[in-house]
Structure 1
Amino acid sequence: MKSYILKRLISLIPVIIIVAIITFFITNLMPGDPVRVILGNMATEEQVIQLEEQLGLDQPLIYRFIDWSGNIIRGDLGDSLYLNSSVRVAIISRLEPTFLIALMAQFMGGVLGLFFGILAAVNHRKILDQLSITVSLLGISVPSFWLSIILILIFSVWLRWFPVSGYEPLAEAGLSTFRYLILPSTALAFMQAGIIARITRSSILDTFKEDYIRTARSKGLYQRTIIIKHSLRNAMVPIITVIGHNFAILLGGTWIIETIFFIPGTGYLAINAIMRRDIPVIQGCIIFVALIYITVNLLVDISYAFFNPRIKYS
């Protein structure tokens, strides 16, 4: 196991290098001059030149890339052009809402997806199977941003159960914080539930064809015992893959949802950085998303052995 993890970590180095190279050059080729955005249209040419020198934007692109790469290796993502703080501090200070939204969405999506997936598999080719498939397809098809608007209209505007937007930190508001997160998490969970339900249904139906399931049934075991103890555990490898993949996407992909609900997470930070041409923050957010995705996928690969002891790492 240790040698496998070491090999995987070493294999991730070129991936991170490629992501960093692409991130730097694409963000620096974005249309729009950040200096002009900062100073405004009334700035003189002397002011523009002075600020470019101050920010190091007057240097050739390759020299800026070398300096930026050296800083990345040391864990320094640079300083924001607007926030008067380092990019690392800006991202860390906004991790809480993003992480809570992703965690809640994954939990709700996982529970609903497993429920509908198992229900569909147990009632294969029956009305409940067709109903579960319909619900899962609906979850996959409905855009999260559209569902967010519908949820705001119903539960915030009409019923007034939840706030329309905003966020209060967990340390200040306590459990009241989750009132701000229920609607955005639900909007994201709907799609997660649809994907997980489809994979769960297919995986469990595949296990029903195996000899050990037929043996369990011949022994007279209850259907619930067969599903939970035998079928579901052996079907968990593809399900865990999807759940881990989706969680990594959620942690890095709540950008639109956070913007709709005005939640100050990393997604809202990234959107504002793009609008302002705050290149260091954009680069930092992309690197952060890439590291999250890589880390979660590594943890998912390692977890396979727990659900299926037949899997050996070398």
Structure 2
Amino acid sequence: MAAYIVHRLIWTVIVMVMVGIFVFLLLRLAPGDPAAILAGDSATPQMIDGIREKLGFNDPLPVQFVHWALGILRGDFGTSIFTGRPVLELISQRLEPTFSLTVLTMIVSVTTGVSFGVFAAWRSGGLIDRVLSAFATLGFSIPVFVVGYFLIYLFAIKSQWLPVQGYQSVGQGIGPWLLRLILPTLTLSLPYIAYIARIARASMLEVLSEDYMRTAAAKGASSYSMLFHHALKNAGVPILTVIGISFTSLIGGVVITETVFNIPGVGRLVVDAINNRDYPIIQGILILVSGLYVVINLAVDLAYTLVDPRIRY
């Protein structure tokens, strides 16, 4: 087990180094002068030279990478070209809305998706299975922004039950915080509920057809015991995989959802940085998101060993 963990940690470090090199070269090796790209179309030669000097673009490429990598390790992600403020400070100010939306979305997606998949497999071919299968297909088919605008019209404009847009910090009260996140969470959860439910159903169907499940039924095991003590644990590896994939792919949905609901999170910061061509912010977010991806994949790999002990050896 220790050897497996060490092996995964070594590969995690290697992947992060490769990601760092890619993010660093993304701007430096792009067509044209990076300083001119950052300065904009109306920049003077003096402005471009100032940016080159400020960002160290006049140094050799290996020297630039070493300085940049050491800064990342110290927590220095550079300075925003547009605002002149540290990139990490700008990102940290936007973390709470994105973190809140992401965590609530994963809680709703995992609990609902796994439950739907388990019961659809248990009632395979029945009405519940057909309804949930239709829901899963619908969840894949409708774009996130369409769902968002539909929910806004139905629950915010038509019924006036929920706020239309915006975010309220959790420090101002759990109720207002949760009220602002209901519609964004439902919008973002729909495709992931469908995805997790389909994989959970397929995996559960495979396990339920095994001989040991029929033996457990013959011995009088309850439906609850068969589903959650025997079948779900043995079907856990594919379900964990799809949960990890869903978590890491949330950033794309977060960008769209935060734009639709006017939530001042990291997704909106990405959109603003792209519009302003603020490449230091884009690079900082890419590094942090890539690191999150790697950590989640590592956590999923380690969780496999808890579900399937054979992986440990």
| Structure 1 residue 69: Cα displacement | 2.6
Q: Aligned residue for 2:74?
A: 74
Q: Aligned residue for 1:293?
A: 293
> Structure 2: which amino acid aligns with 1:313?
R
Q: How many angstroms apart in 1 are the aligned matches of 2:152 and 2:243?
A: 26
Q: Aligned residue for 1:313?
A: 312
| Structure 1 residue 292: Cα displacement | 0.6
Is residue 251–residue 292 contact of structure 1 (8 Å, CA) maintained in 2?
no
Q: Aligned residue for 1:36?
A: 40
Q: Aligned residue for 1:233?
A: 233
**Which shows bigger deviation, 234-243 or 81-90?**
81-90
> Structure 1: which amino acid aligns with 2:40?
R
Relative to the length of structure 1, the TM-score reads: 0.90
Q: How many angstroms apart in 2 are the aligned matches of 1:90 and 1:6?
A: 34
Q: How many angstroms apart in 2 are the aligned matches of 1:275 and 1:16?
A: 27
Counting only pairs closer than 5 Å after superposition, residues 195-274 of structure 1 correspond to structure 2 as 195-250=195-250, 253-274=253-274
Could you report, residue by residue, the CA deviation over 1:57-85 in whole angstroms, capped at 9, with x for unpaired residues? 55565553343233224332112223333
Q: Aligned residue for 1:189?
A: 189
Q: How many angstroms apart in 1 are the aligned matches of 2:165 and 2:27?
A: 30
Residues 1:141 and 2:123 aligned together:
no
The alignment covers a number of residue pairs equal to 309
Could you report, residue by residue, the CA deviation over 1:179-199 in whole angstroms, capped at 9, with x for unpaired residues? 221111111110011011111
Is residue 245–residue 293 contact of structure 1 (8 Å, CA) maintained in 2?
no
Q: Aligned residue for 2:154?
A: 154
| Structure 1 residue 311: Cα displacement | 2.7
> Structure 1: which amino acid aligns with 2:197?
A
Residues 1:109 and 2:109 aligned together:
yes
Q: How many angstroms apart in 1 are the aligned matches of 2:219 and 2:49?
A: 82
Q: Aligned residue for 1:163?
A: 163
**Which shows bigger deviation, 224-233 or 49-58?**
49-58
What secondary structure is seen at the aligned counterpart in 2 of 1:238? helix
Cα separation, partners in 2 of 1:195 and 1:123, compared to 1, 3 Å: same
> Structure 2: which amino acid aligns with 1:11?
W
**Which shows bigger deviation, 193-202 or 150-159?**
150-159
Cα separation, partners in 2 of 1:214 and 1:262, compared to 1, 3 Å: same
| Structure 1 residue 21: Cα displacement | 1.9
CA RMSD of aligned residues (A): 2.2
| Structure 1 residue 46: Cα displacement | 3.3
Is residue 188–residue 253 contact of structure 2 (8 Å, CA) maintained in 1?
no
Q: Aligned residue for 1:177?
A: 177
**Which shows bigger deviation, 185-194 or 69-78?**
69-78
Relative to the length of structure 2, the TM-score reads: 0.90
| Structure 1 residue 52: Cα displacement | 4.1
- Stretches of structure 2 lacking an aligned partner (at least 5 in a row): none
Cα separation, partners in 2 of 1:311 and 1:85, compared to 1, 3 Å: farther
> Structure 1: which amino acid aligns with 2:181?
L
- Stretches of structure 1 lacking an aligned partner (at least 5 in a row): none
| Structure 1 residue 221: Cα displacement | 2.1
Is residue 80–residue 87 contact of structure 2 (8 Å, CA) maintained in 1?
yes
> Structure 1: which amino acid aligns with 2:161?
W
Is residue 99–residue 251 contact of structure 1 (8 Å, CA) maintained in 2?
no
Q: Aligned residue for 1:25?
A: 25
Q: Aligned residue for 2:9?
A: 9
Residues 1:283 and 2:283 aligned together:
yes
Q: How many angstroms apart in 2 are the aligned matches of 1:285 and 1:30?
A: 22
Cα separation, partners in 2 of 1:51 and 1:236, compared to 1, 3 Å: closer
**Which shows bigger deviation, 68-77 or 226-235?**
68-77
Q: How many angstroms apart in 1 are the aligned matches of 2:225 and 2:75?
A: 50
Is residue 12–residue 298 contact of structure 2 (8 Å, CA) maintained in 1?
no
> Structure 2: which amino acid aligns with 1:147?
V
Cα separation, partners in 2 of 1:97 and 1:229, compared to 1, 3 Å: same
Is residue 98–residue 267 contact of structure 2 (8 Å, CA) maintained in 1?
yes
